[in-house]
Structure 1
């Protein structure tokens, strides 16, 4: 490697080098919802990238750091100048991005010895007021890199139900675009190919091609939409043309009626091959997928070789192989396992159950996810799960609320660690004996032993019920 020429600035350390997509100390400092301020003298190194926010009250947390963290503390263990020096040395050794000190709990101001030690190491110090919880900072850092994905997901969740409703009403492409524009507070153009970019508008135009129809253009203020969102709207625009094919729409409705009869055991699966012309029936095995009602035109366009049926409450699709394109359509979907034609009725029922779970979770659900405890519990009404929450989790939550204990958090971590005391202690930064003591206290409060396999299942059901009842 060729050394830099004399006098050239040294290459920045890993924590100083901006990481594409990751927030910097300056981003955190400038975030209006956080209200952080920089300590006096912290003017440089604010462009260091932050890969995580780590909360600690240890004098030497270096063994838990990997580099690039914004270390948050209220300084409970930083009582002497030597404590402060040890802490600053540890953060520098671990190549932390910076320090965020919360005042008002352990100290009314950042200790002068800590500020001096951080200045010697060129370690930036941000100050958080008592009203700024560290969890808010952690959430900002965690969501920063996912900002675009989160925006697309939120817009997609708002768009898809309305656009599906438009397809079911046989809306035109213009009507569908007007619906999308109302939701996103902008305007969409659909012009012949090559004309959108030449039009004069007060705001920039972002465009995407719609094969066979023209160019879809976005006109509006604020941030321009992500390409994935435009592609989604473009697929719905194309689907309006497929939807207007009356013969094809009637054919999908007939398929939907026949598949519904098979599901209700009013028609033998073997009869489908006699009533419908579809080469997939010759395959040794089929898979069924269930989609939201109104998605038939989209599916026919995306999977022309599949058999698509429109039923009143959902859309069904048969294919001769498992699907890998469910995520591309941005729709929740439920999928069965591969089954012979004679078992297609049970496959439809399996896909229907999977779709119900997918609509709650907002993503694709396959047959492998139907065989989990969580999937089974999601199919049960909350009334059946309520005793588990009331008898096993509510007493713990009430004790945590009254005394500031962490029984529910400890129990959840213990179950996630498959009953391992050592893993739970490591995940919670506790001593193993502390975890053991908390589990013993849970036994006293509930009469059920977290170390017992059967009781662990009962606690898991109680936590699931609590999570389902929690407001979104």
Structure 2
């Protein structure tokens, strides 16, 4: 409701309009009539400040303006008229000044007390720029209050209707391909806000132009994930690049549960360039509604991926069954058919056929014209963390990482398909790539390692493995095994890691994680047990000595210096190690066994 909505016209003098007021003074001119009226307050105290809120229309019967009001002074015969007028002007000045400081939108002064509005009050309102309205004797303050309240209610109802209408328009536009960008424009234009829809990796899905710098977007996503992990109440307020932001969550389907690992990691966010600390409930509610509508729009996008997810699930099952059956011909045929369905998800992304039957220019084929594929394995381990990963969460998280332009370029969605695998803590992706635009583990860890670590809790670890490109579906089983093996060689100490085929050949020690855990523990225990028992019994340091000796490449001098031991003392310890274990530390094989046992222990 605006101030002009409360003013009477010639026709409004009829009894049918008992709540409209007469304008006495408009210091700011016509623009003051567009001031929003958020509520009303009736007050007759000399100091009304603590009762007035910003946007209030203040209604006053002017009892505070009487000579005997407020100060408790004797207004008897000894007081001359001039002094009384000066006192009245002082009271008017103080009253109006307090209203302006409190953010009042206007003053509605009742005429019943004096039969008119005191001139000193009119002058005070003009001096402080506060619109002044006259409330006639025939207009009860309750009528004005009810009129404003009714108008505010109608505005809310109208706003909800408009929101529903915008949602319908958006749904129609989304079916025509308008997407989240159209939704954001429709709902934020009226709020005069700049906002950006971001993924948990900082990918910019829609929003104001120009887009945020990549580092800023990643930092905002990280702040959001950290706040969600800590259980802070949204919106989350922060500052980036010297600009205040308020972050509103856009819940994913996987995020509807209660704190399953990975759930919050898949939520989008709306980053509004404003500090929501002083927002009223209505504006906060509107942004919450916007977030829910964006969530609905995201659900529509997820529906678009359903076929590719099903194709990936089928392809993963066929790859496993073909491997178990020794690459049976029927299984290979079924793989080819499933892969064809996957590739048909968007022929334009693979390379649309031209009039001569050739492929497009995106280069997603090998030199012999076959499609190039890469497999990606992702796993969210939650050792020591509360709960267990949700399969959909890990799948959605891998999709969000691969959708970032740094991984596969822009608009990469149609060229990949992701499915949950194994025990639900793993997800697998099959990706169509170009001969000169392969997916690298460096790109994956740069995207995933930017914001996602701030959303991981203690005990959670996210690891990715990326295969080499392969030229046919029959080679996908090898690519998948390669991706899984690469993922497993990531160091357990890294919270977010990505590895590729080159890491499998970097060092023989990199292959240790591929050995079953029980086998690793037993090997380490049997080889090192004599040394650990001896150290425990005699409080010696044979195991630390062995570790230092290997770390210094068997150099007696450097190892002795590091341990602050004389070389003869070091030789004695090494001889005890060899005697207890039956090994010879001058032999390469025994050195490698000891190094492996220490790493696996």
**TM-score computed with the length of structure 1 as normaliser:** 0.47
Larger Rg: 2
**TM-score computed with the length of structure 2 as normaliser:** 0.38
The higher relative CO (CA closer than 8 Å, separation ≥ 6) is in 2
